Amino acid sequence: MVRMGKRKTERTRMMKVLVVGAGAQGGPCASILSRDEAISEIVLGDIDLDLANRVKAKVGGNKITTVRVDAGSVEDIQKAAEGADVIINLTLTAFNPNIMQAALKAGAHYVDTSFGEPSLMDICARDNILAQVIEKRPLLFENEFREAGLTALAGEYKKEVERLTRRREKLRRQLQRHFSMPVVERDYAEFEKIVDELDDLRRRLSEIKQG
């Protein structure tokens, strides 16, 4: 998890939260927030208003209001975020820049849960937050959030660590099978590829945990 900026002050009043995305993550998130005594209002926004309304009906209670939000429009998001203390982004990572800009304009803190969808073979292949952390480059809107006194929690490293760990374990099993074969049947070119990738995964996992 990458933190940018900081809180202006400790908030003691009830909080209003905008959740952008009412799908597989947004629905459960709204349900959990609705049971939090520190949350006074949840605005659940999605481009599919019917979906958001179905989530609201399922969750019940009187904390949730719904609104149609186009995550492709900064103005749309900013309008939905009026009065919100925090925006939780549970949409596609392609919309992260728009929602972060809207949070800055609305004076709201920001949370998302994804580093993007990097390839297991090359986690720096796409310019996502994980790549920026590993390469020690400035993060998107890092300075803007810091100057505004706002907090942005961008990405959840645990998922990426788990994904790379699963890949590592798969390669280790392949290596074990290699050594269980008769010497004359072993593919040493494949062996070298496995060893190289295991070494690369070890380095990447170490960088993520240190970053």
- Could you tell me the CATH number of the domain that includes residue 61? 3.40.50.720
Question: Same domain for 196 and 121?
Answer: no
pLDDT of residue 11: 47
**Last residue within a domain, chosen from 115, 131, 155:** 155
Q: Which residue has the higher pLDDT, 207 or 20?
A: 20
Question: Same domain for 107 and 135?
Answer: yes
Q: Kindly state the tokens that stand for 83.
A: 């009065």
For the chain, the average pLDDT equals 84
**Residue 137 carries which DSSP code?**
P
Question: Same domain for 15 and 104?
Answer: yes
| H-only helix segments in 81-187 | 96-106, 129-134, 142-148, 157-180
Question: Same domain for 131 and 76?
Answer: yes
If you average pLDDT over each of 4-8, 27-31, 105-109, which comes out highest? 105-109
Query: Measuring CA to CA, which residue among 17, 15, 77, 16 is closest to residue 46?
Result: 77
User: Does the pLDDT of residue 76 top 60, yes or no?
Assistant: yes
pLDDT of residue 48: 98
Question: Same domain for 101 and 174?
Answer: no
- Looking at residues 152-163, what average pLDDT do you find? 67
- Indicate the range of 25-29, 89-93, 187-191, 203-207 predicted with least confidence: 203-207
Whose tokens are 């074990």? That residue is 176
If you average pLDDT over each of 8-12, 70-74, 156-160, which comes out highest? 70-74
**Residue 48 carries which DSSP code?**
-
pLDDT of residue 145: 94
Question: Same domain for 85 and 181?
Answer: no
Question: Same domain for 135 and 87?
Answer: yes
The helix (run of H) or strand (run of E) holding residue 57 is helix 49-59
pLDDT of residue 126: 54
Residue 90 CB coordination number (10 Å) = 22
**Rounded-to-integer distance, Cα 158 and Cα 86, Å:** 22
**Last residue within a domain, chosen from 138, 155, 172:** 155
**Last residue within a domain, chosen from 155, 175, 191:** 155
Question: Same domain for 133 and 104?
Answer: yes
Residue 100's domain comprises 2-155
User: Does the pLDDT of residue 209 top 90, yes or no?
Assistant: no
Does the pTM exceed 0.75? no
Question: Same domain for 141 and 45?
Answer: yes
Question: Same domain for 93 and 114?
Answer: yes
Total domains in the chain come to 2
**Rounded-to-integer distance, Cα 48 and Cα 45, Å:** 8
Question: Same domain for 54 and 94?
Answer: yes
Half-sphere exposure of 28 (CA within 13 A, CB side): 3
Question: Same domain for 16 and 35?
Answer: yes
